[in-house]
Amino acid sequence: MKLRTVGSLSIVAVLLFVVAACTGAEGPPGPQGPAGPQGVPGAAGAAGAEGQEGTAGSKGAAGAAGAEGQQGAAAVVQPTTAPPPTVDKPAYGGSLVHSVRRESKSYDPMQANGTEVRSLTAGIFPANIVRADPDDVFVIDNYTLANWSMSSDGTTYSLELRNDIFWHDGVQFTADDVKFWFDLQFNPPEGRKPSIHSQFLGPVDSVVVNDLLNLTVTLSTPRTGWLAGLVYPFAAMAHPKHLFEPEIANENPNVSPDQVGWVGFGPFKFTSHRKGNDFVIERNPSYFLKDKFGQQLPYLDSITYVIITDPTTMVAAFKTGRIAATSRGSGHHLSLEQIDSIKGDLGDQAVFGGALHFPYAVMTNSTMKPWDDVNLRKAVSLYLDRQTACEAVHSGQCEIAAMWDPGSGYVNSDVLEWPGYRADKTADRAEAKKLIADGGYEGLKVEFTSWDAWSRSGEFTVNELNALGLDASLKLVDAGTFFGGLGTGAFGLYVTGTLGLHPEDMLPQFGLGGSWVQIDDPKFEEMRNNILGKATTVAERYSLAQEIERYVIQEQAYMSVLFWEPGTIAVRSFVKGYPFPAQNMSNNNNLESVRISHA
């Protein structure tokens, strides 16, 4: 029951940060925009034990930050060794036609949350100041940072930006932009909605600009892995201060990127958008990253995203050659039947890959009755047949796991032996029925709310709840209604996928306020604070994460993960270097390394 089509992951310490290539060689032909000096030094690594320098990390990661006020040792990037002459450099040119499942209701990353937003705009607005490493999403790429350090108490971060990053209109990306972005996230002007992603980025108390490229971020509570939370893929920097500040001053507080020309600093620039038809981006000749040969990225001249809302039409378009890559996102990821159909028609002209997209989890709002009863929550978790669900909904092409990605170091190794998650359901179902009877819950009317894109999973879940002895009904709603309701506490029994590569971007989704998983639990808060604010070694983080997983899943049954949904897409064989991240298809989709080769 595994989807993984890429090799097994090398689990690298989460607190090790890799250095983006930035050594200089001539870029490809084409008009050159403004360019800063080359040879930007590598960023410092993560914090080690107080008063000690951490060890150097793998994949080019620098050493860790030492005691308060002491900067981590920067790993200066060395010139790339020339590859053997038999290895051809990737060629430039060509255009990719890629389908997208639908338009987004908003193109402001602070207000939008959907795979289509990232699919369409990731080339323009690729990431935050850091990102998930393109080669291993569990490693953090410094991306825009030249150096950084952390105080020994985990509350103060000193950040130095690279000096060769420019917005698409030629204005340099500076510390003022970063401060403006954080202020817009946490303290929006009157009339502007708060960011829906701020929970992943905090707890930021203040951001102080020191000079053009240096700033200091102070947190209200310790976060020893704070930068890990910034890899959350939807929290992209898409708000240049020089364009947004005048609009806000001119009484347009809800200005969004599409209103100021879609100006980012990613590998591609905006060209055109015909609503409901297509979205076109073209190569940014001033992008700051280079490949291992010293060639400037990206390789493609342009990408045209064609909006195809019907999955059957999408598959037909791929077979006929209208598109060269299918859509990312639930409802449009390829089923096993669709994969077999494409293989039958195209043979080796099609290549398939993907990720474990997200955990499909049955959630209960434990702050409202009757879901404040742990025995009712446990009954639901025990009764759900995860193995059958995986077969019925995804033809076995998913993975049974719990809270953490099964490819990460955070996961408990014995999850498949846990009650509710083990294959033998005999004892679990008997215990679930007993809990329902003892609690007097037979015939309890419950409404299960689900996004309509997850209808098959929703139908399976409701059938299971009815078999348990409840009187369950399914309420399917559109994306706006569903994601707008998450975090409001409006849903009692619902589904969602908690996304997160690390504790910093996973655990903020639990709690009160705008949290997707509504709980009010002091013990959980203590456990969360321990891993986010006190853990300084990888071993500590793994151990605490596993403890939290056992507590959330087994002891309290706050969430009942049915399976990790597969996310499989197809690309034509002439499309080379297409990224298939290990988790969530919204990661690593700026397509900076994709190229066209018919050789």
> Do the domain assignments include residue 487?
yes
Measure the CA–CA gap between 480 and 482, rounded to whole angstroms: 6
Mean pLDDT of the region 347-374:
91
Q: What is the DSSP letter of 253?
A: T
| 243 in any annotated domain | no
Q: In the predicted model, what is the mean pLDDT of residues 276-284? A: 97
Q: What's the pLDDT at 581? A: 84
Radius of gyration of the chain (CA): 24
Give the pLDDT band (50/70/90) at residue 87. Answer: low
Non-local CB neighbours of 273 within 8 Å, separated by 6+ positions: 258, 262, 279, 280
393 within some domain: yes
pLDDT attached to residue 48 = 33
Is the distance from CB of 88 to CB of 291 less than 8 angstroms?
no
- Average pLDDT on 323-329 reads 94
Q: pLDDT value at position 486?
A: 76
Average pLDDT of every residue of the chain: 83
Task: Specify if 509 maps to a domain.
Answer: yes
The per-residue pLDDT for 407 is: 83
Q: Rounded to whole angstroms, how far apart are CA atoms 119 and 300? A: 16
Burial of 209 (0-12, 13-18, 19+ CB in 10 A): middle
pLDDT for position 500: 78
| pLDDT at res. 58 | 29
Please list, residue by residue across 285-317, b when 16 or more beta carbons sit within 10 angstroms of its beta carbon and e when fewer do. Answer: bbbbbbbeebbbbbbbbbbbbbbbeebeebbeb
Query: Cα–chain-centroid distance for residue 542?
Result: 20
Q: List % helix, strand, coil for the chain (3-state, nearest 5).
A: 25, 20, 55
pLDDT at position 31 over 50: no
The domain tally of the chain equals 1
User: Considering the chain, what percentage of its residues have pLDDT values greater than 90?
Assistant: 59
Q: Which residue has the higher pLDDT, 282 or 480?
A: 282
The answer to whether residue 513 sits within a structural domain is yes
| pLDDT at residue 447 is higher than 90 | yes
pLDDT band at 513 (very low <50, low <70, confident <90, very high): low
Q: Which residue has the tokens 């490693």?
A: 139
Show the domain range for 374.
360-566
In CATH, what number is assigned to the domain containing residue 520?
3.10.105.10
Query: Residue 304: in which H helix or E strand, if any?
Result: strand 302-307
Is 207 contained in some domain? no
Distances 471 to 360, 385, 447, 466 between C-alpha atoms, Å: 22, 18, 9, 6
Instruction: Record the pTM.
Output: 0.81
Residue 14 pLDDT > 70:
no
What sign does the dihedral 243-249-250-255 (CA atoms) show?
Answer: positive
Q: Any idea which of 2-16, 255-269, 552-566, 573-587 has the lowest mean pLDDT?
A: 2-16
| Residue 216 vs residue 126, higher pLDDT | 216
Q: Is residue 473 part of a domain?
A: yes
**Of residues 578, 557, 590, the one with CA closest to residue 362:** 557
What pLDDT was estimated at residue 94? 96
Please give the Cα distance from 501 to 63 (Å, whole number): 22
Percent of the chain topping pLDDT 70: 85
What is d(CA 599, CA 587) in angstroms, rounded to the nearest whole number? 28
Task: Kindly tell me if the per-residue pLDDT of 208 is higher than 60.
Answer: yes
Residue range 557-585: mean pLDDT, rounded: 91
pLDDT of residue 514: 62
| Residue 538 burial class via C-beta count within 10 angstroms: exposed 0-12, middle 13-18, buried 19 and up | middle
- Asked whether residue 516 is assigned to any structural domain, the reply reads yes
- Reference 226, options 68, 15, 403, 66; nearest CA is 15
Rounded to an integer, what distance in angstroms lies between the CA atom of residue 503 and that of residue 435? Answer: 32
pLDDT of residue 512: 65
